[in-house]
Amino acid sequence: MKLISAHPLKGTIHVPADKSISHRSIMFGAISHGKTTIKNFLRGEDCYSTLEAFKQLGVPITDDGDTISVTGVGVDGLSQPSEALDLGNSGTTIRLIMGILAKQPFETVLYGDEYLNKRPMNRVMLPLNQMNAHLTGHENSEYPPIHIAANDRLTPITYHMPVASAQVKSAILFAALQAQGETIIIEKEPTRNHTEEMIRQFGGTIDTNGKEIRVSGPQSLVGQDVTVPGDISSAAFFLVAGAIVPDSEIVLKNVGINPTRTGILDVLEKMKADVVISEIDEANQSATITVKTSNLTSTTIDGDIIPRLIDEIPIIALLATQATGTTVIKNAEELKVKETNRIDATAEELTALGADITPTEDGLIINGPTNLHGGIVSSRGDHRIGMMLQIAALLTDEVVDMEKSDAVSVSYPAFFEDVTRLTEGENK
Ligand SMILES: O=C(O)C1=C[C@@H](OP(=O)(O)O)[C@@H](O)[C@H](O)C1
Ligand SMILES: C=C(OP(=O)(O)O)C(=O)O
């Protein structure tokens, strides 16, 4: 597909719903008692993987086009699916559902697409198996298909997390809600806290103190009405586009601002981007963000900010190509085990467009500013790489041709339409 090239972006957009919260709203709705309604559910492929999986687990879920209604069956009310669960491209779905299915009176098998089937699962299987679950990978590997044996008992653990991962933490939390006694998780670095917040929202109890989290099981949850805020990880593409595409000004409405997710706002500020946050809605943890074309300076991004912007690093790397000086991104080795190796994919694809970017063991070194040019690139099947490359194409009037552009539907199906709308200066 030929990407949209050099053009200022002007206007207002409503970014799509948060992917992490959309997944969790189906999961919590399913394992609670009573009805859950979900407004502004993300209609992306990954979240449909979660929705379909819970339908196959016997949970009544309806969709009137506006609101998704989940009739909770309780965590003990799930039923055995008639076949293995296909979780598509979604790491969040496969990892979190393991915690829910770790104690069921039936066995299940989980698998996904060619990308998901290569992503590491020991990080979740090891702690769950310590809790007396019985999870195994394909032919003694840690890769899907994952087999979960029938199990009638989970025991609590104290777990020092070896990786900073909200997916691992969340899987353990879902298991802890079903275990007899207190589970303690000590995080390596704080990661997104949507699971903790939703345990409370659905009537459960959880203690959080810095990196330490305590949950006592078993607990029974109650269905809720959920309104999903916009996803800052999707907004990130337009936050960066607004800052780097000449003569741009974009107003982003309903952007989620949970502090465990706002690392990109800190980076934009450090790089001196012209960003204004207004209309803060405390209850919904969302705000309006206005961004204008800016004179940017380089920065260093490392340490505990990394989990707060992990999915934004490809687009932050593009931002750095337009900043004066050398930007160094470190401690981001988790990028190697996403949909693609995002360190290599970002470096190689941006190099093809003329960027000065070097991959390292745990990050990237980017020298700027550089003039990007046209070329043939590929999303490599990774939605975030695909969206980053489209924003890069806006910096050149030469042709940028991208293979595998369909990948964006995983988290942002209307992405190219929103780019087009902003190039026409239309509001949404
Ligand atoms: O819990 C979540 O919703 C997510 C956690 C992160 O993954 P890790 O837990 O593997 O860091 C993130 O990259 C992913 O897009 C969504
Ligand atoms: C890594 C991502 O998601 P997941 O792990 O759910 O596939 C992502 O959305 O960038």
The CATH number that applies at residue 293 is 3.65.10.10
Ligand 1 centroid from CA 243, angstroms = 26
Q: How far lies 362's CA from each of 36, 173, 377, in Å? A: 41, 28, 23
Q: Are residues 118 and 213 in the same domain?
A: yes
Q: Would you say 379 is a known binding-site residue?
A: no
List % helix, strand, coil for the chain (3-state, nearest 5). 35, 25, 40
- Helix or strand holding residue 352 (H, E): helix 342-352
Same domain for 391 and 277, yes or no, is yes
Q: How far apart are CA 73 and CA 76, in angstroms?
A: 7
Structurally, how many domains does the chain consist of? 2
Q: Is 311 a catalytic residue?
A: yes
Q: Residue 222 has what pLDDT?
A: 98
* Ligand 2 atom nearest to CA at 90: 7
Same domain? 212 vs 309: no
Q: Which burial class, exposed, middle or buried, applies to 94 when counting CB atoms under 10 A from its CB (0-12, 13-18, 19+)?
A: buried
Ligand nearest to the CA of 45: 2
**Local structure of residue 397 (DSSP, 8 states):** S
State which residues form the domain around 146.
19-227
Is residue 413 a part of any domain in this protein?
yes
Tell me the β-bridge partners of 328.
Answer: 300, 365
349 Cα to the center of ligand 1, angstroms: 23
The answer to the question of whether 167 is labelled as a binding residue is yes
Per-residue pLDDT of the chain (428 residues; tens, 9 = 90+): 999 999 999 999 999 999 999 999 999 999 999 999 999 999 999 999 999 999 999 999 999 999 999 999 999 999 999 999 999 999 999 999 999 999 999 999 999 999 999 999 999 999 999 999 999 999 999 999 999 999 999 999 999 999 999 999 999 999 999 999 999 999 999 999 999 999 999 999 999 999 999 999 999 999 999 999 999 999 999 999 999 999 999 999 999 999 999 999 999 999 999 999 999 999 999 999 999 999 999 999 999 999 999 999 999 999 999 999 999 999 999 999 999 999 999 999 999 999 999 999 999 999 999 999 999 999 999 999 999 999 999 999 999 999 999 999 999 999 999 999 999 986 55
Q: Which ligand is nearest to the CA of 94?
A: 2
The pLDDT score that the predictor gives to residue 426 is 61
User: Structure tokens of 254?
Assistant: 């309903």
The answer to ipTM > 0.95 is yes
CA of 35 from ligand 2 middle (Å) equals: 28
> 407 and 350 in one domain?
yes
Q: Does a structural domain hold residue 383?
A: yes
User: 113: which strand partners?
Assistant: none
Residue matched to tokens 């020298």: 367
Nearest-atom number in ligand 2 for the CA of 46 is 6
Cβ-in-10-Å burial (0-12, 13-18, 19+) of 35 comes to middle
Q: Are residues 153 and 70 in the same domain?
A: yes
Residue 235 shares a structural domain with residue 302: yes
Residue 428, in any domain of the structure: no
Q: Which of 178, 207, 227 is the last residue before a domain boundary?
A: 227
Q: What is the pLDDT of residue 425?
A: 83
Residues 6+ apart with CB under 8 A from 64: none
Residue 192 labelled as part of a binding site: no
Cβ–Cβ under 8 Å, residues 9 and 238: yes
If asked whether residues 49 and 88 sit together in one domain, one would say: yes
Assess whether 28 and 56 both reside in one domain. Answer: yes
Predicted pLDDT of residue 427: 58
User: 373, 354 in Cβ contact below 8 A?
Assistant: yes
Query: 67 - beta bridge partners?
Result: 39
Query: For residue 412, how far is its CA from the centre of ligand 1 (angstroms)?
Result: 16
Q: What is the pTM of this model?
A: 0.98
As for ligand 2, residues whose beta carbon falls within 6 Å of it are: 46, 89-92, 311, 338-339, 384, 411
Q: Whose CA is nearest to atom 10 of ligand 1?
A: 165
pLDDT at 230: 98
- CA distance linking residue 120 with residue 330, whole number of Å: 21
CA distances from 48 to 27, 90, 171, 173, 359 (A): 12, 10, 19, 22, 34
Residue at a domain's end among 182, 205, 227: 227
Which of 113, 311, 382, 418 is an active site residue? 311
DSSP conformation class of 2: B
Task: For residues 146 and 208, state if they share a domain.
Answer: yes
Indicate whether 391 and 265 sit together in one domain. Answer: yes
In a domain, residue 395? The reply is yes
Q: Which of 169, 193, 227 is the last residue of a domain?
A: 227
Would the annotation count 43 as a binding residue? no
Q: Are residues 202 and 299 in the same domain?
A: no
Asked whether 414 and 371 are in contact (CB, 8 A), the reply is no
Looking at the fold, whether 172 and 242 belong to one and the same domain comes out as no
Residues comprising the chain, all counted: 428
